[in-house]
Amino acid sequence: MLQVADTDSPSTSYLLRGDSQLPCWKRYNPARPHCHYLDTLIMKLLVRNLDRATTEAALRELFEPFGAIQSCRLVLDADTGLSKGFGFVEMPKVGDAKAAIQRLNGFTVDGRAIRVKKAEAPTAEPDVKDV
């Protein structure tokens, strides 16, 4: 981690992690310690178009260079126990997750171009009333 002072304001500094070309920095202002930063929230990623032979360990290994992994789960077919070709990865830092999306979306894994994006919250089924 590299700390760089802001020349405009001596009380503000930037903390840079990893590749400085990526937007994974966190702005810290000691005058406002109560502020919540997006970099501290958990982001759930959807990973699609995986080869059916891909394991959770291989998926975790793919995302680990971008930061900590909170959870990693492949979706399995209930009848066969085989992968359905997609899974979810949760990363505790939004900046790390965005860097992973940017670098891994379209990346070829086991001969297939995977798709990585932020997972959407499941939508609730509308209640149907009999008339």
Where exactly are the structural domains of the chain? 2-37, 39-118
Question: How many Å apart are CA 91 and CA 105, to the nearest integer?
Answer: 16
DSSP β-bridge partners for residue 113 = 108
The pTM score is 0.64
Q: From CA 29, how far away is CA 98, in angstroms rounded?
A: 23
Predicted confidence (pLDDT) per residue in 74-106, tens digit = 999 999 999 999 999 999 999 999 999 999 999
pLDDT tens-digit profile of 46-74?
999 999 999 999 999 999 999 999 999 99
CA angle 67, 72, 17 (to 5 degrees): 5
Topology adopted by domain 39-118: Alpha-Beta Plaits (3.30.70)
Beta carbons within 8 Å of 96's beta carbon, 6+ residues apart: 17, 24, 66, 67, 68
Are 75 and 61 in contact by the 8 Å Cβ rule? The answer is no
